[in-house]
Amino acid sequence: MNFPPTHYSAVREASSSEAGARGRAWDRLVAAYWQPVLRYIVMKWRVEESEAKDLTQGFFAAAIEKNYFAGYDASKARFRTYLRVCLDGYVANERKSAARAKRGGGAEHVEVDEALLAGKNLDEYFREEWVRSLFGMAVDELRALSEERGKEIAYRLFAKYDLDDEGHDPEASYQRLAAEFGLPATQVTNHLAWARREFRRIVLASLRELTATDEEFREEARALLGVSLGGSE
């Protein structure tokens, strides 16, 4: 299937014939989806976290080796829904692997149930974990960027005011933060504006990598950030 080559997409590059590009794409996909896959396995399949970790590792190893995502069609579903359906097929196969091994079965093939691609209930939980992972990576990148540019105070203010952890103060106000950090309120405003702008930019850049088409990217940005983007964004 041909995708419009309008932006870099790790989803597309995961099936690239060029080893370097394929490796970089898989690194990005695994980083973004490792925790969502792990948490989903625990919830859906009711297994201990240690077993879920083994299944997560096995799933990504098999997906890379057998190129599970080569058959992804962006016109039928979002990529994360397709990945989830592949994951369910993999875990189901693993649960039967011992019996199949005794019968001398060969390599497993993950069957994608097209009907499940339209399902919403399971996808909602997986999406929540995916958003958590996406935002977590963005926070890590913002922290590193702040250190690199000597804007640690901007990050600390952002964490205090906007994040749900990392020292978040639910009673924080610009005036209170100004007093705590020994800054004029105008500087608090400027620091937070910079941090929020960079955080948004980082999230959008990640979304570009983790979607297959411009349409999917714009839909995800609208759902996640409440922004409407033009084709040049």
Residues 6+ apart with CB under 8 A from 44: 88, 91, 122
User: Confidence class of residue 171 from pLDDT cuts 50, 70 and 90?
Assistant: confident
Q: Which two tokens stand for residue 205?
A: 């850049």
* Contacts of residue 133, Cβ cutoff 8 Å, sequence gap at least 6: 32, 33, 34, 35, 36
Q: For residue 2, what is the DSSP state?
A: P
pLDDT at 164: 74
How high is the pLDDT of residue 115? 54
Q: CA–CA distance from 140 to each of 41, 169, 203 (Å)?
A: 25, 19, 11
State the pLDDT at residue 105. Answer: 54
Q: Is residue 174 a contact partner of residue 185, using CB atoms and an 8 Å limit?
A: yes
For 57-85, how does the pLDDT look when each residue is reduced to its tens digit (9 = 90+)?
999 999 999 999 988 998 888 899 899 99
pLDDT tens column, 173-190: 999 999 999 999 999 999
Q: How far apart are alpha carbons 43 and 37 in whole angstroms?
A: 10
Q: DSSP letter at 112?
A: -
- What digits encode the pLDDT tens for the residues 12-22? 999 888 999 99
CA–CA separation, 100 and 12 (whole Å):
33
pLDDT of residue 100: 63
Q: Where are the alpha helices (DSSP H) in the chain?
A: 10-13, 19-45, 49-66, 79-102, 121-148, 152-162, 174-181, 185-209, 214-225
DSSP annotation of 71 reads G
Taking phi over 0 as left and psi of -120 to 50 as alpha, with beta for the rest, 108 belongs to beta
Write out pLDDT tens, residues 123-132.
788 999 999 9
110 has pLDDT over 60: no
Summary mean pLDDT of the chain = 86
Sorting pLDDT into bands at 50, 70 and 90, what band is 156? very high
Closest CA to 181 of 193, 194, 191, 171: 191
Residue 73 in tokens: 């069609």
More confident residue, 223 or 103: 223
Please state the domain extents for the chain.
Answer: 10-225
pLDDT for the residue 124: 87
The least confident of 72-76, 101-105, 206-210, 225-229 is 101-105
- Cα–Cα–Cα angle for 168, 170, 175, rounded to 5 degrees: 95
What backbone torsions phi and psi does residue 106 show, to the nearest 5 degrees? -95, -155
Higher pLDDT, 165 or 43: 43
What average pLDDT does range 102-115 have in this prediction? 54
| CA angle at 195 for the pair 193 and 196, rounded to the nearest 5° | 65
Lowest mean pLDDT, pick from 95-99, 195-199, 203-207, 214-218 = 95-99
Tell me which of 4 and 226 has the higher pLDDT.
226
Q: Which two tokens stand for residue 222?
A: 């609208």
User: Tokens 């691609």 map to which residue?
Assistant: 117
Place 101 in a pLDDT band, splitting at 50, 70 and 90: low
